[in-house]
Amino acid sequence: MARYTRLRQLQALDPERDYQDIYRISAEYEFPWDLQRSLELALFRTYAVPSIGGLLDRTGEFARRGQKRYDDTVVLLYEMTQDGGLDSERGRAALRRMNRIHGRYSISNDDFLYVLSTFVVVPVRWMAEYGWRPYSRHEVRATVNTFRHIGRLMGLKEIPETYEEFAEFLDGYERKNYAYSPENHRVAEATIAVFEGWFPRFLRPLARKGVLAMTDAPLRQALGLPRAPRILEAAAPRVLKARALVVRLLPPRPSSRPKKPYTRSYPDGYTLRDIGPDPAGDLGRRSA
């Protein structure tokens, strides 16, 4: 099928050497919508760790500028994985910007590793369940190598070496560290409000229930969120799988270079100096 043409091209690349190219092509052409949704879910999962949810709550970024906080994450990840990736000056500048933002706060190596693990594991699991095809072994390995590269440049220690090690770390960290806190709940509700804001007012209750339908019981409990209606819990995965069947029948995306991601916070474009919290006031203080 024509839909698999680019996959065959990806299989000709070496995931140990060409991993940034494999990740970029897969992200921009094979799974742009699915990767975006899976990374949203990945970030949402991190709030259930009180040390992470508490820090995000203390910064006030989600409560005051939730859409900008979301858009900044999208922009930084795009800039670090664009053509040339972290071998390009712009990719390195984006990583330096991210490190400067994180450097304001005291964040443990393990918390950083957990967030990194969600960016590796959650998309792989999403594609296996809801993608128009699962990630190939090349794409899985390229994802691992891409985020290992990012982790090394962040100065992280003891980064998992394989997908299996990332998955084991993620699952173990969640079992050990997921716990309810009011701070987790506030950040989760602020993020759901961002998602709701993308829809007309009359659809926002359904959007909220849709988010809840994609959460598992341990995640909901740690975030203090209610369960979605059971009919929606059953329907949401079926809708996503039906979408995958339709996408599988479509022709591959054209190979013209994609534009920068659309962000509601930067309708006229952005510079890397725009990314991150306001350096003034309490947002600039280091948080424990």
Quick: pLDDT tens for 107-130: 999 999 999 999 999 999 999 999
Quick: pLDDT tens for 155-187: 999 999 999 999 999 999 999 999 999 999 999
Please state, in angstroms and rounded to a whole number, the distance separating the CA atoms of residues 30 and 84. Answer: 18
Please report whether residue 108 resides in a domain.
yes
Please state, in angstroms and rounded to a whole number, the distance separating the CA atoms of residues 82 and 80. Answer: 6
H helix intervals, 60-199: 61-81, 89-102, 109-130, 137-153, 163-177, 182-196
Number of domains in the chain: 1
Please report whether residue 144 resides in a domain.
yes
Please report whether residue 8 resides in a domain.
no
User: How is residue 61 written in tokens?
Assistant: 């970024």
Q: Which domain holds residue 100?
A: 14-249
Please report whether residue 67 resides in a domain.
yes
Please report whether residue 7 resides in a domain.
no
pLDDT of 163: 98
Quick: pLDDT tens for 22-50: 999 999 999 999 999 999 999 999 999 99
Quick: pLDDT tens for 45-72: 999 999 999 999 998 888 888 999 999 9
pLDDT of 89: 92
Dmax (CA) for the chain in angstroms is 56
Q: Read off the pLDDT band of 259 (50, 70, 90).
A: low
Please report whether residue 283 resides in a domain.
no
Quick: pLDDT tens for 235-248: 999 999 999 999 99
Using CA atoms, how far residue 90 sits from 12, 37, 150, 270, in Å, is 27, 25, 14, 13
Please report whether residue 181 resides in a domain.
yes
Class of residue 169 by CB neighbours under 10 A (exposed 0-12, middle 13-18, buried 19+): buried
pLDDT of 17: 96
Please report whether residue 260 resides in a domain.
no
pLDDT of 261: 77
pLDDT of 288: 28
Residue 98 CA, chain-centre distance (Å), reads: 15
- Check: CB of residue 45 under 8 Å from CB of residue 111: no
pLDDT of 285: 39
Half-sphere exposure (Cβ direction) of 102: Cα atoms closer than 13 Å = 19
Please state, in angstroms and rounded to a whole number, the distance separating the CA atoms of residues 47 and 174. Answer: 11
- Check: CB of residue 85 under 8 Å from CB of residue 148: no
Residue 38 CA, chain-centre distance (Å), reads: 6
Using CA atoms, how far residue 267 sits from 7, 107, 224, in Å, is 33, 32, 34
pLDDT of 223: 98
Class of residue 126 by CB neighbours under 10 A (exposed 0-12, middle 13-18, buried 19+): buried
Please state, in angstroms and rounded to a whole number, the distance separating the CA atoms of residues 76 and 94. Answer: 6
Q: Read off the pLDDT band of 287 (50, 70, 90).
A: very low
Q: Read off the pLDDT band of 1 (50, 70, 90).
A: low
The proportion of the chain whose per-residue pLDDT surpasses 90, expressed as a percent, equals 78
Residue 258 has pLDDT above 90, yes or no: no
Residue 253 has pLDDT above 90, yes or no: no
Average per-residue pLDDT in the chain?
Answer: 91
Q: Read off the pLDDT band of 286 (50, 70, 90).
A: very low
Quick: pLDDT tens for 185-219: 999 999 999 999 999 999 999 999 999 999 999 99
Please state, in angstroms and rounded to a whole number, the distance separating the CA atoms of residues 233 and 187. Answer: 23
| Mean pLDDT within 136-145 | 97
| Rounded (5°) CA angle 32-196-81 | 25
